[in-house]
Structure 1
Amino acid sequence: MFQVPVVDVNNDQAIFEGEGFDAVIVVTADLTQLAQQEISLLAEHAKQIDHRVGKQATLLFAPGLAGGRLIIAPVTGDDDYADVRIFAKAAKEGINIAKDAGATKPLLIVTSSQDPRFSFATEVAALACGQALWQPLETREANSLTPALTAIGLMACSPKSELLNALEAGRVLARDLCGTEPERMSAINFADYCVASFKDSGLDVTVVDNKATLIKDYPLLSAVGRSSFDVARHHPRVVKVAYTGEGEITRTLLFAGKGVVYDTGGADIKIAGGMAGMSRDKGGAAAVAGLMKTLSILKPKGVKVIAELGLVRNSIGSEAFVTDEIITSHAGVRVRIGNTDAEGRLVLADLLSHLRIQATQSVAPSLYSVATLTGHVVRAYGSYTALVENAVAKQQGVAATLQHIGQQWAEPFEVSYLRPEDFDKVADKNGAADVISSNNGPSSVTARGHQYPAAFLLKASGLDSHHLKSSQPLSYTHIDIAGSATEGDPLYGKPTAQPLVALLQFTIG
């Protein structure tokens, strides 16, 4: 695994040479607030001769300090609208300077703040370093790369390494799965990579690989992959993973992850360069897999987490499914195909139907779908994740809680609402089918293009029968990460593993 471990440090002696570290990185909003006098004096002296100090990340020659290197990474942009991501930005700048300067074991110091917005600034800064240091799986395999750093020391008054290392292990897995090209991380290879990563983890892992079983139990998913069945190496897979904590189970979370390993658009083919980056359409399944990895390391008590990852290639060919077809979902709902490029919701609907059945037999269940689902969410919210919840989840405050957690842990959410118009949108107008998957245009130019797919998912999965007034209401929240799954370049930028950190904090309470 390509991971730089975090080690806890609670002794100021670590900043000096001879203590095993070879650089000191200070992430701070105010140089006068530094607790270590040696660092404060050096920074103030340097500021007199270099006015960049305290305004931009700077490397200082620091005799006597670890490695003779002091990196001041100032936290800037703190205004009424800022959040903890300003600490992440500063930490990335600092760790990159340390790496480029030749450090292999830097010590990270994050100055504390009384501002409640920054309660987890230290953890967020450390995780940002992991994000900055990750390298693509293809690069690592082609060049036999190992991490540039051996460890990162984290100066903190309480231990944080167990949580941070577990989170980063899950995030590395999620980045590898999401960011790797479609042959190296085909549906089969994605499933195999998960199985290998979960070995000896204590997770219950099953892979559904039989064609007849997939067609019977996951008919919508199999329709998306119908043409891929002609190519042995492109066959679909469903990975089932379960974590059961020790002790009495008090809540159960069930996740469906969209893993479209390559999305051509199918018969409604993507044109004019629209296929570029479509190997990243598996970010939802990747994030859920990473969450399960993290849970297997932390082993929280009293919680059960069940996940199904739908892995499929939306291939083009003589066997490809087409618009106007009516296909019966696992829940027995007749679905008219409106656009084959709206394939992710088909995959999720079958997964959610299976999870729905398990939820009815579980303690305090709540269901979630995680997917790079729509271009509309990018148009509406840019790089932010959208939450769309049913009435049961809204009554329980699921989205509001997730939004609060995400704001504190540098994975912000925007909350959208389901409206009657969204259900009208997916009603089949001539009655031949129970529901229509989508209109025939791109979501990005469709009004409410990221909200109404949640209405489809409720209908096609059978979850709509578990409404507030039903005998067994079920909470369901759809999480659209199309804008947040990568950073920088939307096509080939570094995968973020979002919203793994927020989901972990939500899960363990």
Structure 2
Amino acid sequence: MMELHPQLVLSSDVQDASFDAVVVVTDTTSKLTGPLSAIKEVIDRAAAVDNGIEKQPVLLIAECVPSKRLIYAATGPVNRDQDDVRRFADAAGAGIQRAISAGCKQPLLITVESDLYDRAVLVAVLGTLQKAYLPLELSEAGKPPKLSRLGIWTSNNSFSTKDVDLAAAFEKGRAVARDIGGSDPERMAAPRVEEYLRQIFKDSCVEMDVISDVTTLNKDFPLLGAVNRAANGVDRHKGRLIFLEYKGKGEISKTLFLVGKGITYDTGGADIKAGGIMAGMHRDKCGAAAVAGFMKVLSVLQPENLRVIAGLAMVRNSVGEESYVADEIICSRAGVRIRVGNTDAEGRMVMSDVLCRMKELAKDAVNPQLFTIATLTGHAIRAMGPNYSIIMDNGPARMMRNAQRIQETGHNFGDPFEISTLRRDDFEFHAGKSEYEDVLQANNSPSTMTNRGHQGPGAFLILASGLDKHGVDSQKPLPYSHLDIAGSSGPFPGVPTGSPIVALAAHFLLQ
């Protein structure tokens, strides 16, 4: 499979004629000194007659650069009380979009270092690459890449070859996430996700194992099997449970277990989504897509002493005569009797048994840590807005201050998190309401109309998987965190962001 990412190259020469535009990103032109002084003069002259130059990217004719094309993309004033490093990603992305619309294929990005943010240049490069991404269906149809090469200006080794490699690896991971998460429900139906990943990880250090046999799925992962029932009658929609494993060189000091929600299309099932709200439900696979993207980053950077096992629950929540329905009682892999309350709460169903399997492996693993990643609830967007991942820890993870540390990394790398807390209310909400069941899967109201609508599913995952037996006071505490990325996964219509790949990769590979 051909990779269509622009080639990233370092350059310290503003006069390099191989670039067909220069894109300047800064919070103030006063920082454009030395070899950038002539560029500053051009921008300042334009600013004298255009009050809007600080508000949107502008294309200026500049004799001081070989291409004559200078694009100024200001971050605007950075308010330390309110802003974060994403100002640089936003400005760089807008600037590169202007360059692409002007017909540029090989721009030079100049991002002046920030006094406030150590990673401003890297974040600006990632913002540029987000806009340079070409959707998979378009590339497969033969449309050429938006950019062939991206120059990254550097002075005094402010941005090194190592930084270039890091940005390239992050982008390759995010591109995998966008390919899977953004592609339509037929192009990335579960069997085709398997085909795609076999190509992505062919001859790599990531091993892949797939369970497609419906008898095995129903027996070993019964909650997933229930959601898969209605889709299983259509060959091209049959579910897949995809396991990916990376094992770095050297003695393993850390083991990560990641479970991703991969609902290739969510009709709501028997509790069907009505009133025109089904559009966009092909994006309900962005959790699994992010997990696959994280594994791609590992395959590129190949960190030592780290082992990662990932499970992608790729299932279509179809509706039909075989649909699972509210009131069914299904015994989970962990032996927990689950009463279905709403078939539109399918994400927690497909992940619970996979999480249980990861729990079983984690008992014997070195320094284990477990995660679920999912576009799980509309409540996550209602509570925190459309741009933020939410992380919530169980007791052992909270003792590690895991959420706070990942939040700090995400803040530094422009991939931000909000923290929520799992409380007794959430576990009480999901406790069985009669002697028939141990756990109630969901109520029959949308998450947006349910108190603590994004925290409750985290408690359900703990209960249904048996992780409640591995809390702080148990003989084998297992740190677990649930990530709801319904907001941060990206806009629809629009291109997925690839969040939270950068934050997780930076946290576990760089810290």
Counterpart code for 1:472: K
Shift of residue 40, structure 1, vs aligned partner? 2.0
Counterpart code for 1:420: R
| Separation of aligned partners in 1, 2:8 and 2:68 | 21
User: Could you tell me whether the CA contact under 8 Å between 1:108 and 1:155 is conserved in 2?
Assistant: yes
Counterpart code for 2:445: G
| Separation of aligned partners in 1, 2:109 and 2:277 | 41
Which residue is equivalent to 1:395?
399
User: Is 1:177 aligned with 2:186?
Assistant: no
**Aligned match for 2:30, one of 32, 52, 56:** 32
Which residue is equivalent to 2:256?
253
| 4+ runs deviating over 4 angstroms | none
Which residue is equivalent to 1:286?
289
Counterpart code for 1:186: A
| Separation of aligned partners in 1, 2:97 and 2:347 | 36
* Offset from partner CA, 1:358-388 (integer Å, 9 cap, x none): 1111111000000000111111111121111
Which residue is equivalent to 2:102?
101
* Offset from partner CA, 1:422-467 (integer Å, 9 cap, x none): 1110111112111111111111100001001111100101111001
Which residue is equivalent to 2:433?
429
Shift of residue 64, structure 1, vs aligned partner? 4.1
| Separation of aligned partners in 1, 2:478 and 2:370 | 8
User: Could you tell me whether the CA contact under 8 Å between 1:253 and 1:507 is conserved in 2?
Assistant: no
| Separation of aligned partners in 1, 2:222 and 2:308 | 24
| Separation of aligned partners in 1, 2:411 and 2:404 | 11
| Separation of aligned partners in 2, 1:68 and 1:359 | 58
User: Is 1:444 aligned with 2:436?
Assistant: no
User: Could you tell me whether the CA contact under 8 Å between 2:27 and 2:77 is conserved in 1?
Assistant: no
* Offset from partner CA, 1:126-163 (integer Å, 9 cap, x none): 11111112232223333x11212111111232222100
What SS is found at the alignment partner of 1:206?
A: strand
Counterpart code for 1:386: I
| Separation of aligned partners in 2, 1:259 and 1:295 | 20
Which residue is equivalent to 1:90?
91
**Aligned match for 1:358, one of 326, 345, 361:** 361
Question: 392-401 vs 54-63, which deviates more?
Answer: 54-63
User: Could you tell me whether the CA contact under 8 Å between 1:267 and 1:322 is conserved in 2?
Assistant: yes
| Separation of aligned partners in 2, 1:328 and 1:237 | 20
For structure 2, the 5+ residue unaligned runs are none
Which residue is equivalent to 2:75?
75
What SS is found at the alignment partner of 2:310?
A: strand
**Aligned match for 2:270, one of 267, 271, 286:** 267
What SS is found at the alignment partner of 2:125?
A: helix
What SS is found at the alignment partner of 1:411?
A: coil
Q: For 1:119-158, list aligned pairs within 5 A.
A: 119-142=118-141, 144-156=142-154, 157=157, 158=160
Which residue is equivalent to 1:404?
408
Which residue is equivalent to 1:15?
14
| Separation of aligned partners in 1, 2:46 and 2:488 | 38
* Offset from partner CA, 1:197-242 (integer Å, 9 cap, x none): 1111210111111111111111100100111111111110011001
Counterpart code for 1:89: D
Q: For 1:310-349, list aligned pairs within 5 A.
A: 310-349=313-352
User: Could you tell me whether the CA contact under 8 Å between 1:24 and 1:66 is conserved in 2?
Assistant: no
Q: For 1:185-204, list aligned pairs within 5 A.
A: 185-204=188-207
User: Could you tell me whether the CA contact under 8 Å between 1:107 and 1:152 is conserved in 2?
Assistant: yes
Shift of residue 77, structure 1, vs aligned partner? 4.6
Shift of residue 97, structure 1, vs aligned partner? 1.3
Which residue is equivalent to 1:111?
112
Q: CA RMSD in A?
A: 1.3
Shift of residue 53, structure 1, vs aligned partner? 3.6
| Separation of aligned partners in 2, 1:220 and 1:111 | 52
| Count of aligned positions | 499
For structure 1, the 5+ residue unaligned runs are none
What SS is found at the alignment partner of 1:26?
A: strand
User: Could you tell me whether the CA contact under 8 Å between 1:17 and 1:68 is conserved in 2?
Assistant: no
Which residue is equivalent to 1:213?
216
Which residue is equivalent to 1:46?
46
User: Could you tell me whether the CA contact under 8 Å between 2:22 and 2:110 is conserved in 1?
Assistant: yes
Which residue is equivalent to 2:6?
4
| Separation of aligned partners in 2, 1:195 and 1:217 | 23
Task: Report the identity percentage.
Answer: 45
Shift of residue 105, structure 1, vs aligned partner? 0.9
Question: 51-60 vs 400-409, which deviates more?
Answer: 51-60
| Separation of aligned partners in 1, 2:393 and 2:172 | 29
| Separation of aligned partners in 1, 2:485 and 2:210 | 25
What SS is found at the alignment partner of 2:312?
A: strand
| Separation of aligned partners in 1, 2:277 and 2:94 | 32
What SS is found at the alignment partner of 1:367?
A: strand
Instruction: Give the TM-score normalised by the residue count of structure 1.
Output: 0.96
User: Could you tell me whether the CA contact under 8 Å between 1:426 and 1:438 is conserved in 2?
Assistant: yes
User: Is 1:453 aligned with 2:484?
Assistant: no
| Separation of aligned partners in 1, 2:224 and 2:498 | 24
| Separation of aligned partners in 2, 1:112 and 1:17 | 21
* Offset from partner CA, 1:381-419 (integer Å, 9 cap, x none): 111211111011000011001111111111111101111
User: Could you tell me whether the CA contact under 8 Å between 2:134 and 2:146 is conserved in 1?
Assistant: no
User: Is 1:370 aligned with 2:351?
Assistant: no
User: Could you tell me whether the CA contact under 8 Å between 1:17 and 1:64 is conserved in 2?
Assistant: no
User: Is 1:223 aligned with 2:226?
Assistant: yes
**Aligned match for 1:165, one of 165, 168, 173:** 168
Shift of residue 50, structure 1, vs aligned partner? 3.8
Which residue is equivalent to 1:413?
417
